[in-house]
Structure 1
Amino acid sequence: MVQRRRIAALSVLTVITLAYLVWFTPLLGVSTVEVTGARAVGEQRVRAAADVPLDHPMLRLDTDAIAARVAALPGVAGVDVSRSWPSTVTVTVTERRAVAYHDGGDGIRLVDSAGVLFQRVEAAPEGLPRLEVLDPGPADDETTAATGALASLPAELAEQVVAVAATTAGSVEFELTGDRTVRWGDAEQNGYKARVLGVLLGQDGTVFDVSSPELPTVS
């Protein structure tokens, strides 16, 4: 009986000791931080923003706080922070992808498909269309309608777009190469409109109206 009690007490002590070592000491602390996906944003910027404390116990690491700090970087669309035992933390970044640029009073900025203006650049990027809206941003209906429509275009159509404009959320228009105009309308049925437009552009004309894709017109 005494022997059993000693074994039980020793087992409890062992569990407590291991828990203490894992929870409060650097025994299973962070020794390596890996960053993936940060090509444009830059690995060093992500590391600095993440600010992962080395030797901090892995179990006590606040991965949500790390992700929030990295997500605050302008070019970051999403972040995942994971633990790889025994001592590695991996920060996986999804970067914003520019679909247009906006040239406003505060300079030229890149815009992603959600309407977020995320990076200033010195000159208009070659191959990106110009976004023409009054108040650009993700909370602006005209912006999100325009960028959503633009993002829905297949590459062979998107590369022909010089500018995308919207005075209302239902009046998106594309300016194409060759002095052609596309009246897109609202951001509904974007995929359907893109397919119809691909067919219409094979016809002679300068104005292609797919705002009602069931009844498109060319003039």
Structure 2
Amino acid sequence: MSATTARRPRAQQRRKPSRGPDRATVLRRRAVAVMSVVTVVVLGYALWFTSLVGVGEVAVEGNVELTAEQVRVAAEVGAGEPILSLDTGAVAAKVRELPRVADVEVSRSLPGTVLLKVTERTPVAVVQADDGAHLVDRTGKDYATTSAAPAGLPVLEGTGEEALASAVSVLVQLPDDLRREVLSVGSSGGTDLVLQMSAGREVRWGSAQDTPRKAAVLDVLLTREGKVYDVTSPELPTVS
């Protein structure tokens, strides 16, 4: 025995090479790993594709004219349908097909509630027709018909499609105090508009261009006595 060997600790001299796990241990570990993966897959499938976590309630918020049932029917979300795999985009698209719906948000609340938060269209004007008053929103969409026009809404008279769009564009840009004075909007030809206002006053508006500027000029003109106010050219307004 050399001097170097003699100086090694006795425990180190007796150390044996380490051995890896035996075959049975390896197989057992593999089986546990496989079972874990299978469990995760099965659980995921059950949660995602079965009614284990299914829709129990479809709640509706924000509706005013529409009933909650009308919204639910349009959404076509079935009871027990897997909530995690629910295509909220497709549900929203179906609800937006309701003419009165401007927008809708669809969300999930586990364990089983689907919430439909509806924003209904708001009328800014009406078109009178033989079948009733057609409500028109700020986008120019004719979305509903009622037997009588809601109070306070201006009437769109004798306007074609292009002129109607221009009329709505003007109305939604007017300050509230001016818009409340408007009784009707008609076309004097093409897209040139004429506003009939309270107290028998008429405003020759012209096109929808420069509406904010025209509104500011009109606000000053209305402080003067007159019946016809012309802001067709806001640089040269007239009162007569």
What is the TM-score when the length of structure 2 is the normalising length? 0.82
Structure 2 partner of 1:171: 192
Counterparts of 1:1-219 in structure 2 under 5 Å?
Answer: 1-135=26-160, 140-168=161-189, 170-219=191-240
- Cα separation, 2, equivalents of 1:62 and 1:168: 48
Q: 2:122 corresponds to which letter in structure 1?
A: R
Deviates more, 1:68-77 or 1:89-98: 68-77
- Cα separation, 2, equivalents of 1:55 and 1:182: 59
* Residues 7-56 of structure 1: CA deviation (Å, up to 9, x unaligned): 21122111111111112211221112121111122222112211211111
What is the TM-score when the length of structure 1 is the normalising length? 0.90
Contact 1:142 1:167 in 2 (8 A): no
SS at match of 1:83: strand
Q: 2:45 corresponds to which letter in structure 1?
A: Y
Cα deviation for residue 148 of structure 1 reads 1.2
The structure having more radius of gyration, on CA atoms, is 2
SS at match of 2:84: helix
Contact 2:123 2:137 in 1 (8 A): yes
Q: 1:133 corresponds to which letter in structure 2?
A: G
Cα deviation for residue 170 of structure 1 reads 3.1
Q: 1:169 to 1:209 in 2, by over 3 A?
A: same
Percent identical residues? 45
SS at match of 2:125: strand
- Cα separation, 1, equivalents of 2:140 and 2:51: 43
Q: 1:84 to 1:191 in 2, by over 3 A?
A: farther
* Residues 82-108 of structure 1: CA deviation (Å, up to 9, x unaligned): 222332211121111111111123332
Gaps of at least 5 residues in structure 1 are none
Q: 2:142 corresponds to which letter in structure 1?
A: L
Q: 1:119 to 1:186 in 2, by over 3 A?
A: same
Matched residue pairs, number?
215
Gaps of at least 5 residues in structure 2 are 1-25
Q: 2:36 corresponds to which letter in structure 1?
A: S
Cα deviation for residue 169 of structure 1 reads 5.3
Q: 1:77 corresponds to which letter in structure 2?
A: A
